[in-house]
Amino acid sequence: MKKGIHPDYRPVVFQDASCDFAILTRSTIKTGDTVTWKDGNTYPLVKLEISSGSHPFFTGKQKLLDTAGRVEKFNRKYARTKA
């Protein structure tokens, strides 16, 4: 490997903002935030909007959307007028 061309591969904490879920893993992502982990060390922090801790596929909690209302609204908005 050539020196100086590879990004810094270091431990990073990924934290889900929507639930109490965080994981410590290794990554090359750059971030300015830090957090003190359970072991007492300080690691770079990446905040996520969704992760396996909050995604319906992994949690088994499906959120129902009002798709019928959305389709009707779309049809009303873009309905063709008879000319």
Residue 82 inside a domain? The answer is: no
Looking at the 3D structure of the chain, how many domains does it have?
A: 1
Residue 1 inside a domain? The answer is: no
Residue 17 inside a domain? The answer is: yes
**In terms of pTM, does the model score above 0.75?**
no
Residue 4 inside a domain? The answer is: no
Residue 3 inside a domain? The answer is: no
Domain span holding position 21: 10-77
Q: How far apart are CA 28 and CA 52, in angstroms?
A: 20
Question: Residue 47: pLDDT above 60?
Answer: yes
pLDDT: which is higher, 75 or 30: 30
- Average of per-residue pLDDT values in the chain: 82
For residue 19, the model assigns a pLDDT of: 83
Question: Residue 26: pLDDT above 60?
Answer: yes
Residue 51 inside a domain? The answer is: yes
Token pair recorded at residue 71: 């389709």
Residue type (1 letter), 35: V
In whole angstroms, what separates CA 6 from the centre of its chain? 25
Question: Residue 83: pLDDT above 90?
Answer: no
Cα–Cα distances (Å) from 25 to 2, 9, 34, in that order, read 24, 10, 14
For residue 38, the model assigns a pLDDT of: 94
